[in-house]
Amino acid sequence: MPALTREEARSRARLIDVRHYTVDLDLTRGEETFGSTTTVRFTTREAGDTFVEVRPHTLHRADLDGHALDTASLADGRLPLTGLNAGEHELRIEADMAYSRTGEGMHRFTDPADGRTYLYTMCFQTEAPRVFAAFDQPDLKAPFTVTATAPEEWTVLGNGTAHRVEGEPGRWECATTPPLSTYFMALAAGPWHSVRTEHAGIPFGLHVRQSLGSHLDDDAQELLDITRACFDRYHEIFDEPYPFDSYDQAFVPEFNAGAMENPGLVTFRDEYVHRSAVTDTQLQSRAVTIAHEMAHMWFGDLVTLRWWDDIWLNESFAEYMGYQVLAEATRFTGTWTEFAVDRKSWGYDADQRPSTHPVAPEPEAVPDTATALLNFDGISYAKGASALRQLVTWLGEKAFLAGINDHFARHRFGNATLADFLDSLARASGRDVHAWADRWLRTTGVDTLTPHITTDGRRWHLETAHTGNRPHRLTIGLYDLDGTGTADRLTPREPLTADLPADSGHTLTADGPRPDLVLLNDRDLTYAKVRLDTDSWRTVRRALTHLPDPLTRATVWNAARDMVRDGALPPADYLDTARAHLPHETDDAIVAGVLDFARHEIADRYLPPGQRTAALETLTDLARALLEREPAGGGRDGGVRLTAVRAAIDSATTPGELHHWWTTGTLPDGRPLDHELRWRLLHRLAVLGAVNTSDIGAAHDADPSAAGTEGAARCRAALPDPAAKEAAWQALFGEADTLSNYLLKATFQGFWHTEQQDLLRDYVPRYFDQAPALAARRGPAIAQALGRHGFPRPFTDPGTLALGQRCLADDSLTPALRRPLADELDDLARALRVRAAH
C-alpha cells in the first residue's frame, strides 16, 4: 500500500467532509479472517474524484449511493471514487479482513496458557484500513458507531460504552462517539477478566486476559488509584471536562507500543500487569504511562494534529503532562529523576544521530505517512517534553496552562497546527512564543554548556561556553566539600539562576572562594549536555554519594555519561565512579540507569574486548555490594535490591553461583525465584553454555504462559551450539514467517551475544543480506524490530560498519528498516571513536 502523501491528504480534505462511520465486524469467521462492513456518509463540496483506503483479504462488494463499484479497481489498498457530484454520499463496503500477528490492524492472539483467544485493534496512523474502509487521514474526523458479532462467551470493548444487544447472542453495540480521527477507532474482544468501577460519574474498567486475571486483581487497587488521581488532577488544570463517555484500560498481548491513546479504550502492553516482583521505579514507569495516555484524551483525541508533522502536539505534551501530573497527584513525587536518567538520554542519543529531526519539522520534511512513522522517537517524546519543561520554566505555569485551555476551547473535536497552539500561548502570556519555538522546535541537535572557572582569591568567576543555538533558563548548583568528618560531604550553597542567550555564553562573578562543585543545569530544567570542569569532576569522584537531591545526582550521572559518549571521559573512569558510589545510591532509577549504561555500552562496546571480562566482574562486585547493603525485603517493590539481583545475573561471567540459584530455586537471601528471575537466570546460563534444550523444555513446561513461551525462545536461541543458532536463524528469516512480533523479538534477544562471537561471525553478513527482504515482506513493525533487536551489536568493528553501510546504500530498503539501521550504525561508529580516544 503506498504511503499517503501530504498533498493527497490536503486535496481530499478540500473536497470532502466525513459525516459518520458505521462499522460492523463479524469476529466469528475463523482464525484467519473476520468480516468488516463499513458505511461512510460524506459530503463533497464540488464535483471531483477521490479514493477510500481498504486493505482486505477479500473485497466482496462496494456500493456508492446505491450503485455497485467495480471491486477490481481496488489497487494497493485504494478504491477509486470517481465522478462524484457535489452533495451528500453514502459508501458501503463489505469485505473479509485478515487477522494480524504483528500487532497491526486487528491482532489475534491465542494464549498458550489456556488456549483462549483475544483480539484487539491497533489502527494507528495507517492501519485502520486493515480493519474497516476509511478516508484515513487525521483531519477527516467523524463520529463512529461500531457493532460486532463475537462468540457468546466473549466481551467486546470499544471507544464508546459497549453493551450486548438484547435477543441477539454474541451481538454487541458501542455508543456513538464524538468526532474521531480514523486512527483512534478501537475494539477489543475476548473472554476478558475485568475489574469495573465508576468515578466522577464515568465508568472505569480494567481488562486483561484470563490467565493474568489474578495478577490484575493484585494490581487493580493501585491502577485505579493512579487513574482516579490523574483524572482528578487533569480536571483541576483543564477547563474542558473529560470528553468521552467511559474510560477503559485494556492490557493486551503482543502490543508493539507501550500504550495507545484510543479515546475511551486505552490499550497497554500486558507486561504492565506484573507476574513477578518489580521495583518501585517500574511501578512509577507504569503510572507515568497511565498519566501519559490520559493526557492524550485532550492532547490528541479532543484536539488532533492536522498532519503528521505535528506529532509533537500529541506526544511531547502527553509526555510532559504524564510526568508532571503524576508528580503532583500521586505518591510518585520523583518522576523527573527517572525522566532524566531514562527518557532524556533516549532524546539526547536520538538528537545526535544523522536521523535527527526538529521536534516540529517543517511541513515539507514530512511528505508522507511512511516518513512520519519514523518520527515517533526520542525527539518527539523526550526532547519535546524537555522543551516544554523549559517553556514552562520561561513562561510560568499559570500562563502555560491558560494557553492550553485557550487551545482546547478553540479547537475542541477539531484539528490544529503548531501555529494554532503558539497563538494560544502568546495570547495567554504576552510573550513572543513564536520566536522561542523557532529556536527550540525548528532546530536539531543538543546544545553543550561548558563551565570555565577562575578565581583571584577573593572572588570566583564562571564563564559558560555555549555551543548551540537555543536560549536556556537554568539553575547553577554550587556545593562545597566538608571533609572534617570520617567521610567527604557536600554542603550546598544558594543556587544561582541564569538566562543564557542563544548563540552566546554567560559570565558571572561571585564573592568568596570557588565552590568545589559547580553544576550547570542543576535540577535538570533545560535540555542540554553539560560538562564538569576538572575540579568539579574531582569533587564528584570523592563525594557524589553525598549530593542531597536525587535529581541533582541524576544530572551529574548524565554529564558523566555524555562525556564518555563524546570521548571526553575514559569509560574506565565512569566504571570506577560507579563502583565507588553506586553501592550508596538510594534512588533505584539512578541505580538501574547507571548499571544499564555500564553493562551494555561500556562493558560490551566502549571498552576494548580484552577488558570486557574485568568490567563484568566489576559490575558483579558492585551488584554484590548493593545486595549486602540492602536488607532483604518481600513484596513487589524490591527496589535497589531487585535491580542488583538482575545486574548480578546479567553480568555473570561464570555459571557457578547462578547455577546454584537455579538448582535451589532461591536467591542468596532465601527468597524463591519468581517467573521473571527464573527466565532471566536461565537465559544467562544458556549464554554461558551451562544448560541444554531439556532444561529449557522443562522450564517451559513449568511456565507455559506467553511470557514463558517467549522466554523459552530466547533461551533456545542463546545456546552456544551451531545447530541451535541455525534453527533460530531459520525461524527468524525462513519464508514461513510464523513468528509473531514478540517471538521474533525474543529470538533476536537470545541470538546475539558477545561471548559467542566466534560462533556468530558468519551470521553478520547474512543479517545484512537477508534483513531487507524480511522487512519488505512482513511490514513496518517487524522491520523496526529487525533494526533495533536484530542488529549484530556484539560486533564492534570496522568490518561490521562497512557491511552495514553497504546495506544502507540500497535504495530499495524500506523506511521502517532504514531508520533503525542507520541509528545502529551511527552508534557503532561512535563506539569505535570512543575506543580510539582511549
For strand 187-190 and strand 155-158, is the pairing parallel, antiparallel, or unpaired?
Answer: antiparallel
pLDDT for residue 633: 52
Q: How confident is the model at residue 2 (pLDDT cuts 50, 70, 90)?
A: confident
* Mean pLDDT for the stretch of residues 478-494: 81
Among 830, 343, 342, 381, residue whose Cα is nearest residue 595: 342
How many Å apart are CA 209 and CA 188, to the nearest integer?
Answer: 11
Sheet holding 193-199: strands in order across?
193-199, 202-208, 247-252, 265-269, 259-260
pLDDT for residue 632: 58
- pLDDT of 89 > 60? The answer is yes
The grid coordinates listed for 763 are 551470521
Q: Which of 407, 440, 473 is the last residue of a domain?
A: 440
How many Å apart are CA 252 and CA 270, to the nearest integer?
Answer: 5
Among 414, 430, 397, residue whose Cα is nearest residue 240: 414
The 10 Å Cβ neighbour count of residue 463 is 14
Cβ-contact 12, 134 below 8 angstroms:
no
Please state, for a pLDDT cut of 90, what percent of the chain lies above it. 95
- pLDDT of 635 > 50? The answer is no
Judge whether 414 lies within some domain. Answer: yes
Judge whether 822 lies within some domain. Answer: no
The grid coordinates listed for 379 are 525527539
Among 319, 380, 376, residue whose Cα is nearest residue 347: 380
The CATH number of residue 339's host domain is: 1.10.390.10
pLDDT for residue 638: 54
Q: Would you say the C-alpha torsion 124, 125, 131, 136 has a positive or negative sign?
A: positive
Cβ-contact 481, 514 below 8 angstroms:
no
Q: How confident is the model at residue 380 (pLDDT cuts 50, 70, 90)?
A: very high
Side-chain half-sphere of 559: how many Cα atoms within 13 Å?
28
Q: Which of 191, 219, 241 is the last residue of a domain?
A: 191
Highest mean pLDDT: which of 370-374, 407-411, 809-813? 407-411
Q: How confident is the model at residue 341 (pLDDT cuts 50, 70, 90)?
A: very high
* Mean pLDDT for the stretch of residues 659-678: 91
Judge whether 181 lies within some domain. Answer: yes
Cβ-contact 204, 371 below 8 angstroms:
no
Among 147, 203, 202, 143, residue whose Cα is nearest residue 177: 143
How many Å apart are CA 286 and CA 288, to the nearest integer?
Answer: 5
How many Å apart are CA 681 and CA 668, to the nearest integer?
Answer: 13
pLDDT digits (tens, 9 = 90+) for 296-310: 999 999 999 999 999
Separation of CA 356 from chain center: 17
Cβ-contact 611, 570 below 8 angstroms:
no
Among 832, 827, 49, 701, residue whose Cα is nearest residue 378: 827
> C-alpha dihedral over 457, 463, 464, 470, to 10 degrees?
150
Q: How confident is the model at residue 215 (pLDDT cuts 50, 70, 90)?
A: very high
* Mean pLDDT for the stretch of residues 565-584: 97
pLDDT for residue 229: 98
- pLDDT of 735 > 90? The answer is no
For the chain, helix, strand, coil in percent to 5 are 45, 20, 30
Angle at 402 between CA 398 and CA 403, to 5 degrees: 120
Burial 518-542 (b: 16+ CB within 10 A, else e): bbbbbbbbbbbbbbbbeebbebbeb
Write 495-498 long-range contacts (CB < 8 A, 24+).
495/522, 497/473, 498/464, 498/472, 498/473, 498/474
Q: Are residues 317 and 186 both part of a single domain?
A: no
Q: Are residues 171 and 43 both part of a single domain?
A: yes
Angle at 60 between CA 57 and CA 63, to 5 degrees: 130
Q: Are residues 158 and 33 both part of a single domain?
A: yes
Facing residues of 597 across strands?
Answer: none
Judge whether 368 lies within some domain. Answer: yes
Burial zone of 202 (CB within 10 Å; 0-12 exposed, 13-18 middle, 19+ buried):
middle
Q: Which of 140, 163, 191 is the last residue of a domain?
A: 191
Q: Are residues 309 and 178 both part of a single domain?
A: no
Q: How far is CA 607 from CA 573, 603, 670, 752, 837, in A?
A: 11, 6, 35, 18, 11
pLDDT digits (tens, 9 = 90+) for 772-820: 999 999 999 999 999 999 999 999 999 999 999 999 999 999 999 999 9
Q: Are residues 169 and 309 both part of a single domain?
A: no
Q: How confident is the model at residue 487 (pLDDT cuts 50, 70, 90)?
A: low
pLDDT for residue 634: 42
Average pLDDT, the chain: 95
Q: Which of 104, 127, 271, 293 is catalytic?
A: 293
Q: Are residues 28 and 172 both part of a single domain?
A: yes
pLDDT digits (tens, 9 = 90+) for 37-79: 999 999 999 999 999 999 999 999 999 999 999 999 999 999 9
- pLDDT of 472 > 70? The answer is yes
* Mean pLDDT for the stretch of residues 118-129: 97
Cβ-contact 800, 752 below 8 angstroms:
no
Residue 293 is a catalytic residue: yes
The 10 Å Cβ neighbour count of residue 596 is 17
pLDDT for residue 363: 85
Judge whether 640 lies within some domain. Answer: no
Judge whether 356 lies within some domain. Answer: yes
3-state SS class at 81: strand
The CATH number of residue 53's host domain is: 2.60.40.1730
Number of domains in the chain: 2
* Strand blocks (E) in 757-838: none
Q: Are residues 35 and 169 both part of a single domain?
A: yes
- pLDDT of 243 > 90? The answer is yes
**Residue 66 DSSP code:** T
Q: Are residues 184 and 319 both part of a single domain?
A: no
Domain that holds residue 53: 6-191
pLDDT for residue 291: 98
Residue 222 CB contacts under 8 Å (≥ 6 apart), including other chains = 283
Angle at 469 between CA 467 and CA 474, to 5 degrees: 75
Q: Are residues 179 and 314 both part of a single domain?
A: no
Which three-class secondary structure string do you get for 367-399?
CEHHHHHCCCCCHHHHHHHHHHHHHHHHHCHHH
DSSP per-residue string spanning 613-625: HHHHHHHHHHHHH
pLDDT digits (tens, 9 = 90+) for 177-196: 999 999 999 999 999 999 99
- pLDDT of 637 > 70? The answer is no
Separation of CA 670 from chain center: 35
Judge whether 26 lies within some domain. Answer: yes
Cβ-contact 325, 291 below 8 angstroms:
yes
Helix 612-629, helix 588-597: angle, nearest 10: 170
Judge whether 600 lies within some domain. Answer: no
* Mean pLDDT for the stretch of residues 411-424: 96
Q: How confident is the model at residue 737 (pLDDT cuts 50, 70, 90)?
A: confident
